Structure 1
Amino acid sequence: MSSRKSGRRRAGPRRRRLPLRYLLPSVLLAALFAMLMLRGYVHSEILADHRIAGSTHNDKVPDEVRKGGPVIDVRGGGLNTVGVPDDRVVLTFDDGPDPEWTPKVLDILKKHRAHAVFFVTGTMASRHPDLVRRMVDEGHEVGLHTFNHPDLSLQSTRRIDWELSQNQLALAGAAQIRTSLFRPPYSSFSHAFDNRSWPVTEYIGSRGYLTVVNNTDSQDWKKPGVDEIIRRSMPKDGKGAIVLMHDSGGDRSQTVAALDRFIPDLAAKGYRFTNLSEALGTPSAHTPVTGLDRWKGQAWIVLVQAADTITVVLAAGLAVIGFLVITRFGLMLLLSFLHARKVRRRGFSWGPPVTGPVSVLVPAYNEAKCIENTVRSLMDSDHPIEIIVIDDGSSDGTARIVEDLRLPNVRVVRQLNAGKPAALNRGIANARYEIIVMMDGDTVFEPSTVRELVQPFGDPGIGAVAGNAKVGNRDSLIGAWQHIEYVMGFNLDRRMYDLLRCMPTIPGAVGAFRRSALERVGGMSDDTLAEDTDITMAMHRDGWQVVYAEKARAWTEAPESVQQLWSQRYRWSYGTMQAIWKHRRALVDRGPSGRFGRVGLPLVSLFMVLGPLLAPLIDVFLLYGLVFGPTARTVGAWLGVLAIQLACAAYAFRLDREKMTHLISLPLQQILYRQLMYVVLLQSWITALTGGRLRWQKLRRTGVVGSAPGGARPAPDAERRPVG
């Protein structure tokens, strides 16, 4: 029986492990979120309570407290209040440590050989542990002032315990000590205790703390002037005093200046400036922290420092992406305007008109739903063409569909499945003409597309031409978002890169090449998953010019599901990275062919790889600002970025003579669609960095793009323009 059970266990379903390309981004995002939450916590942006209770009756406060000294000891159930001896001054500083003012206060104390008590908040101590350590090393005492500085009279005992323990954790990590001194936030004199605050003091005493208020308030937080701070800090009638000052919470320059005069003036009158334990003649309030508590405290400090560092890095990244976004938009708008002005001016031409026949290659793998629409759109071309459909081992009868059409000047070349680059190379080998047009099997051309696409070859220096790829199925929301992306992100980019003479990609849906140029660079390569980007970069490096023909419009079927879109963009992103890496030596190419390496490759790396990778920071800080930060300013910044994008998109739509109605979905595109593109790019980075391999992923076609707008579908027996 045991063997059968063992066999059943072996035959059971295997547990599926989460692939590294999904696990790693999930862990990174979770860690980033945790760091941001920690940063918000220690900066009092999360869980902070800034309410202040109003005054109430004090009939439940013992007279001994209301009329007693500023040091209140209710530990062990007793009650004792004391003040400091005559001729003793205990300087106390609240709300620090502050990286600017606390060191200056410590310098003044060291200069005059005076000691003091610093009531620190856990948030500031966690962020500036070196200052807490300096306080202890220089003989000062440290007390608790809670972690987030809430009014404890409004808090539960659980929240009070949490404030104290977190404050102690920060001290343990910063200076490896624990303290028994406590000062409640918003406290002043002992006679100010009321029926709300006194029970808190009793509870804190039961937790082993000595509560310290003051009997002399400098009111330095009002910034009344140095002389006034000194006057208010003076002990009365030669008695001892616990003086309240602040080393944080704003500009403390008056406090520092007042200290430098106040201490020597009183010292000349016989006063001594000591910490509280020295003044009272009691053991030090500090006890060392060892063992696990010490390690926990140090781990806490490390995490807080890491969170602050990561936030600084993210903020720097946000500045970088902001610069890249604004620079890219600025360049696109300016250079697109100049490009349109150049190619649309009266009398512009690339050279002598190109009227000779061209070869159109249509690589097809299982394109049964689309191929007839594609071929018939080509048959309506107003330029002489031959059509070569390369069937790359289709199993759905793609080749048979084309052959059954029995159209003139249409040939079918069959091969075993070898991939798109191999299919295109097979088509090049079978092409009759010098100019070769390449398109996808799910794309339809307008009647004028081929003619417009090949006119730039009138310039003998041009080796390839990129056409204007447009989304044909734009009626769905995903289609509309891709339509915006194609018009704005792709075609504005191509105008910009055309003018800079560093076009990075000829779209597979509509592009044209000189056959001689293709042969010189070795034809289409299968080294990358972005063969169109690869061949374009190779053309540049061989010295050919690559341009953009805006009127050569092709209507392609965009993915209609999130999964299909993911697969397509994942391949594009990863393939682009492969192409950049393959042609990285273009950076050191010399001569005219080195222009792409000097200009194009850095721009592509910044705008297409690095920029989109950092772009999620905009949304991370948007979300963080909406929840924890200055909401109005955050929303205003995001709307400003959106306005810039909308302006660019509107201009792109105007250049392409597209209806503006689709731009209604632009804000939603920025919230949803862009996030998907971020994750796809992140996954591509992880695949590249981990050495993963990505296979070509065939998209499912629906044949929804039947014909190009404005182009009628011809009848099978219609008369065609002759080739040759």
Structure 2
Amino acid sequence: MTTTSSRGRRRAPSRIGRAAGKAAALQKPRVILALLLLLALTSVMLLDGYLRAEVGGDQRVRTGASSSDVPDEILDGGPILTFRGGQATTVSVPDKTIALTFDDGPNPTWTPQVLKILEEYDVPGTFFVVGSMVSRYPGIVKDMVEQGNEVGIHTFTHVDLSYQSQARVTREMTQTQLALAGAAGITTTLFRAPYSSETDAIDNYSWPVYKELGEDGYTSVFVDTDSDDWKRPGVSKIIKWATPEDGEGASVLFHDAGGERSQTIAALPKYIEKMKAAGYTFTTISGAMAEQNGTDAGAGAGAGSTGGNGIPGAGLAAASPLQAAHRQATGVTLYEGKALIAAVTLAEWTVPALSVGLMVVGVAVMGRFGMMLVLARRHHRRRNRRRFSWGPTVTRPVSVIVPAYNEKECIANTLESLAKSTHPIEILVVDDGSTDGTSQIARDAADRLGMTNVRVLRQENAGKPAALNHGVRSARHDIVVMMDGDTVFEPDAVHQLVQPFADPKVGAVAGNAKVGNRDTVIGAWQHIEYVMGFNLDRRMYDLLRCMPTIPGAIGAFRRDAVLEVGGMSEDTLAEDTDITIAMHRAGWQVVYQEHAKAWTEAPGSLKQLWSQRYRWSYGTMQALWKHRKSLTDKGPSGRFGRVGMPLVVLFQIVTPVFAPLIDVFTLYSMIFIDFRAALLAWLAVLCVQLVCAAYAFRLDREKYRYLLMMPLQQLAYRQMMYLVLIHSCVTALTGGRLRWQKLKRTGEVGTPAGVS
């Protein structure tokens, strides 16, 4: 065993620590930004789901309550309930007068048709709007108000307020007021509760709500003539049911939303013509109150009242008596309303766009699974048939380079595994400025094992690429095997790894890296990922002749080829991907040797895992960007640019970045649409992944019991990998740079014989 030392003074550990700490500190804002992006996406989707009113509400909680607390004069009174001066009073619509009211809108299909009919017949209407619908279709409400119609509140999510908390009631009213402010610049004092009918239906559950709203300045509007158009009984019955008896005035209910309303549209003009012919006039609720009371319309609508949330009584009364319930939205209310409309507009555009993205991602993911299964099977059959051969058996000695930085826990196990190699090798341990005695431990292990083929090379701390280049320059043989200082080789790993070099066109070989510390939850997750995600991928890329990465844990190169492309580059954090692409571009073939197996120690904590995968993801992006001109390379050397580059970008960057859409939409569907259907869809995708994973385990002859961890992996581990990739993208887009990072090792991965 010989030892050499590099010249120059080694960097002070304190400087290294300060630089690493500074680099870590610079990444914290990017982590926060990545989390904020995911939070923003989730918030937009939750807003969209809430606006569609598919959670809570839209059904009565209880029915049949007594009305003993409701005054008789209210139960037997008119359809308009006010609390002027704190006294409950009902108002009836004057004889021969119709207050035409519409519930549940606005709707982009039916409401504009209703408005057109009202305009043609010069008839005003009172529209009790749902706040979520106002937020989604603000332009319709603005047209509605500008046309001279009156609007009232029908809650934000069409929930029955009779059985809701006071906070929920306040929220429903306030949110609808803000929606009106943002859409039409107004608020209103009119309210109609969902599922309400005539005043005699007021019960002990709903009465307190009406009283509280009355104290807040609201006028509650009921029905005394119902068209029942929602039943779609036919045009003639709708007209008949909407006609008051004996010339009485009426608050007549139609619907401009909430279902298919073609019969309403057909009945409305005929109804107006019939009632006008019978001598009826049409007005709004405020108009009816003003006419019945013979007083100023503003007073009749409750002008001057100040609601508990300050909205109903704010601003000035509208100039038209037909819109006396309207108040001009000003100040904070106006700006909050506009902000709500803007947020909803964003959600309305974002969710459909994300839906399209989800379809694209879903197709890409399933396509990738299909490609992996088909091509991996073909690769396995081709490489394992009896007649397959790389060429004459490679038996000449090779150099094994082991870069090491503070590997005291692992370096002895690494050398012990190499001592059992069935292939003649020289071993170069390149100590990259370790401070934990790695060099001495390596010498002692070599002496203990009687290994005379070990050289320990020391250099000033310069990073892994520099250590590998040092080893390549110092290697005595034309084939160099590169491995990590925490990796152990199986006895025949080197022999298997170098056999493809019998083909003179092969310039580099990727080995089969396996997780040694797989008995923890995190280790099992990574084990599944290595077998399925990495090795199954490599079979596919090998068959397509566009292998993107030689793993740092186990890979082999022609020494001359490495020197030809300039050695291991320090331009990126993924020196293995960088040099692999460079080998392709230089015209060399890069292949995968599944039978060359090495066991590596995977990160043992979430923090270390994040650090490693962050470096991998960011480094891969750097390498792809560095070699972006490969897209235009010609001839055989351009195959990676034509095939490999698009596949890597699609499968390792674009698809994973947008893959969280699958989980977000699954959660969205479970909450807002159909829990059972969404769960079944998620389980179906999981089954497809399990099939792929099981096949990968079969090819690698792994034990299937680890697949029991896969459902949990999909719920936790995969989301972490998404965040890592998003974090890397944010770093790349913001121009950040990372240092090569050293993970903490435990040395728990021993020789292959001890790994099961």
TM-score, normalising length: structure 1: 0.90
The residue number in structure 2 matching 1:523 is: 567
C-alpha offsets along residues 156-183 of structure 1, whole Å, 9 cap, x if unaligned?
Answer: 4454343323222221111111222221
Match of 1:697 in 2: 741
Distance of aligned partners of 1:564 and 1:151 in 2 relative to their CA distance in 1, 3 Å threshold = closer
Single out whichever of 494-503 and 77-86 deviates more from structure 2: 77-86
Displacement, 1:575?
A: 0.9
**AA at the equivalent of 2:752:** A
Amino acid at match of 2:178: L
Pairing partner for 1:160 from 160, 169, 173:
169
Q: Quote how far apart the aligned CAs of 1:24 are.
A: 2.2
1:137 match: 146
1:190 aligned to which of 199, 202, 224 = 199
Q: What is the CA distance between 1:495 and its match in structure 2?
A: 0.8
Q: CA deviation at 1:80?
A: 4.3
Say whether the 8 Å CA contact 1:75–1:209 is kept in structure 2: no
Distance in 1 between residues matched to 2:636 and 2:263, nearest whole Å: 65
Query: CA 1:371/1:232 → structure 2, altered by over 3 Å: closer, same or farther?
Result: same
What's the counterpart of residue 327 of structure 1? 367
Q: Structure 1 residue 624: deviation in Å?
A: 4.6
The count of residues paired between Structure 1 and Structure 2 equals: 697
- Encode CA deviations 1:254-284: one digit per residue, 9 max, x unaligned: 2223224433444455544443334554422
Instruction: Tell me, yes or no, if structure 1 residue 688 matches structure 2 residue 732.
Output: yes
What is the match of residue 298 of structure 1? 338
Q: Secondary structure at the match of 1:501?
A: coil
Whichever residue aligns with residue 605 of structure 1, its letter is: V
Within-5 A mapping of 1:432-447: 432-447=476-491
Shift of 1:576: 0.9
Q: 1:4 aligns to what?
A: none
Q: Deviations over 1:386-422 (max 9, x none)?
A: 3222222333333334444242333333322222212
> How far off is 1:540 after superposition?
1.5
The letter of the residue matching 1:256 is I
Q: In 1, are the aligned partners of 2:128 and 2:154 still within 8 Å (CA)? A: yes
Match of 2:406, SS state, is coil
Aligned pairs (5 A) from 1:424-439: 424-439=468-483
Residue 75 (structure 1) aligns with: 84
Partner of 1:651: 695
Higher alpha-carbon deviation: 380-389 or 467-476: 380-389
Match of 1:20 in 2: 29
Equivalence map 1:502-541=2 (5 Å) = 502-541=546-585
Q: How does 1:244-393 map to 2 (within 5 A)?
A: 244-280=253-289, 281=291, 282=297, 283=321, 284-393=324-433
Measure, in 2, the Cα distance between the counterparts of 1:522 and 1:47: 64
Is the 1:53–1:153 contact (alpha carbons within 8 Å) kept by the matching residues of 2? no
Q: Cα 1:111–1:353, aligned 2, differ >3 Å: closer, same or farther?
A: farther
597-606 or 617-626, which deviates more: 617-626
For structure 1, the residue ranges without an aligned partner over 5 or more in a row are 1-15, 713-724
Moved more, 56-65 or 649-658: 56-65
Unaligned runs of at least 5 residues, structure 2: 1-24, 292-296, 298-320
Task: Please tell me whether the aligned partners of residues 447 and 711 of structure 1 are also in contact (alpha carbons under 8 angstroms).
Answer: no
RMSD of aligned alpha carbons: 2.6
Question: Does the Cα contact within 8 Å between 1:434 and 1:515 map onto a contact in 2?
Answer: yes
Match of 2:501 among 439, 457, 464: 457
- CA deviation digits over 1:135-173, x for unaligned, max 9? 101111111112222223223445434332322222111
1:60-99 → structure 2 map (5 Å cutoff): 60-99=69-108
Q: Structure 1 residues 367-376 or 659-668, which shifts more?
A: 367-376
More deviation, 39-48/211-220:
39-48
**Cα separation, partners in 2 of 1:535 and 1:132, compared to 1, 3 Å:** same
Alignment-mate amino acid for residue 112 of structure 2: P
Matched, 1:558 2:584: no
Counterpart of 2:210 (choices 201, 204, 222) is 201
- The worse-fitting range, judged by mean Cα deviation, of 271-280 and 584-593 is 271-280
| SS of aligned partner of 2:128 | strand
Distance in 1, matches of 2:745 and 2:265, equals 74
User: What do residues 683-707 of structure 1 show as CA deviations (whole Å, max 9, x unaligned)?
Assistant: 2223222222211111222222221
**1:495: which partner in 2?**
539
1:222 matched to 2:231: yes
Per the alignment, residue 114 of structure 1 pairs with 123
SS at 2:105 equivalent: coil
Distance 1:123 1:642 in 2: 35
Shift of 1:197: 3.2
Instruction: For 2:660 and 2:461, locate their aligned partners in 1 and report how far apart those are by CA, in whole Å.
Output: 39
Within 2, Cα distance between the matches of 1:196 and 1:394?
A: 76
Instruction: Give the match for residue 44 of structure 1.
Output: 53
Deviations 1:308-338 (A, max 9, x none): 4444444444333323321221211121112
Identity, % of aligned positions: 60
CA apart distance, 1:120: 0.5
1:452 and 1:549 in contact (8 A); partners too = yes
1:95 alignment partner, SS class: strand
Amino acid in the other structure paired with 1:661: R
Q: Match of 1:575, as an amino acid?
A: G
Matched letter for residue 100 of structure 1: T
Q: Deviations over 1:470-515 (max 9, x none)?
A: 1112122222111111101100110111112211100011111122
Distance across 1 between alignment mates of 2:409 and 2:62: 72
1-structure distance, mates of 2:211, 2:435: 84
Deviations 1:66-116 (A, max 9, x none): 443322333223454443344433321111112232223223333443321
Report deviation, 1:661. Answer: 0.8
Question: How big is the shift at 1:426?
Answer: 1.8
More divergent stretch after superposition (259-268 vs 513-522): 259-268
* TM-score normalised by structure 2 residue count: 0.86
Deviation at 1:681, TM superposition (A): 2.1
Conserved? CA contact 1:75–1:210, under 8 Å:
no
Deviation at 1:369, TM superposition (A): 2.8
Answer whether contact 1:37 1:46 (CA < 8 A) is retained: no
1:422-448 Cα distance to aligned partner (Å, 9 max, x none):
222222222233222211122121222
Q: Distance in 1 between matches of 2:149 and 2:333?
A: 22
**Alpha-carbon distance between aligned partners in 2 of 1:517 and 1:649, rounded to the nearest angstrom:** 35
Q: What are the within-5 Å matches in structure 2 for residues 387-402 of structure 1? A: 387-402=427-442
- Offset at 1:385? 2.5
* SS at structure 1 position matched to 2:578: helix
Q: Which residue of 2 aligns with 1:126?
A: 135
2:132 partner amino acid? T
**Mapped partners of 2:196, 2:66: distance in 1:** 16
Alignment match, 2:628? 584
Amino acid at match of 1:382: T
Counterparts of 1:633 and 1:292, CA distance in 2: 42
Task: Find the aligned partners of 1:670 and 1:620 in 2 and give their Cα distance.
Answer: 13
Does the C-alpha gap of structure 1 residues 442 and 52 become closer, same or farther in structure 2, counting only changes over 3 Å? closer
Going from structure 1 to structure 2, the CA distance change for 1:489 and 1:87 (only over 3 Å counts) comes to: same
Change (3 A) 1:402 1:285: closer
Paired residues of 1:361 and 1:388 also in contact (CA < 8 A): yes
CA–CA separation in structure 2 for the residues paired with 1:146 and 1:415: 73
1:528-550 CA-partner distances (Å, limit 9, x unpaired): 11100000111122222211111
